[in-house]
């Protein structure tokens, strides 16, 4: 799956990262608690979150994640978008709620892909 597929499946609005649309996504993590996200390293992962602050982007950056999706129609401010540009991370927002967003992606073949360490 590619970032452009995520946008399509979630009917999401892309806010940062037009140039990353063809980047591959292999796994996903959905959480509002960043230490839960940091507990499992995934490759080429997307973060689905309702947490709207710069730490969501920094968490994704620490994990080498490629994309952050904000759920429930949350629209990040310029500071968040700037942090994403700075770290080369695609950002989009979807009106779907967390459970639905995760379900749709899972159904389309994306899985948790967790491996420890």
Partner 1 sequence: MSENSLHYHYVVPGDDFTRAGIASSAVKKTLKQLGIYPETVRKLSISLFEGEINMVIHADGGEIDVWIDDEKIVAELVDKGPGIENIELAMQEGWSTASEQVRGLGFGAGMGLPNMKKYSDELIIDSTVGVGTKVTLIVNIVK
Q: For binding to partner 1 (CB under 8 A), which residues are involved?
A: 32-36, 38-39, 41, 49, 51, 53-56, 58-59, 61-64, 79, 87, 116-117
Burial class (CB in 10 A: 0-12, 13-18, 19+), 90: buried
- Contacts of residue 63, defined as CB under 8 A and 6 or more positions apart, other chains included, come to 37, 38, 41, 42, 45, 47
CB 41, min distance to partner 1, A: 7
CB 30, min distance to partner 1, A: 13
Which CB sits closer to partner 1, 61 or 104?
61
């Amino acid at each position: 799956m590619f970032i452009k597929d995520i946008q399509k499946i979630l009917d999401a609005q892309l806010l940062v990262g037009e140039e990353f649309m063809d980047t591959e996504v292999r796994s996903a993590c959905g959480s509002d608690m960043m230490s839960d996200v940091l507990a499992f390293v995934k490759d080429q992962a997307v973060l689905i979150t309702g947490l709207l602050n710069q730490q969501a982007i920094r968490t994704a950056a620490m994990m080498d994640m490629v994309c952050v999706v904000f759920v429930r129609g949350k629209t990040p401010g310029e500071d968040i978008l700037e942090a994403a540009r700075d770290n080369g991370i695609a950002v989009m927002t979807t009106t779907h709620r967390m459970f639905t967003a995760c379900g749709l992606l899972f159904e389309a073949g994306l899985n948790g892909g967790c491996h420890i360490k």
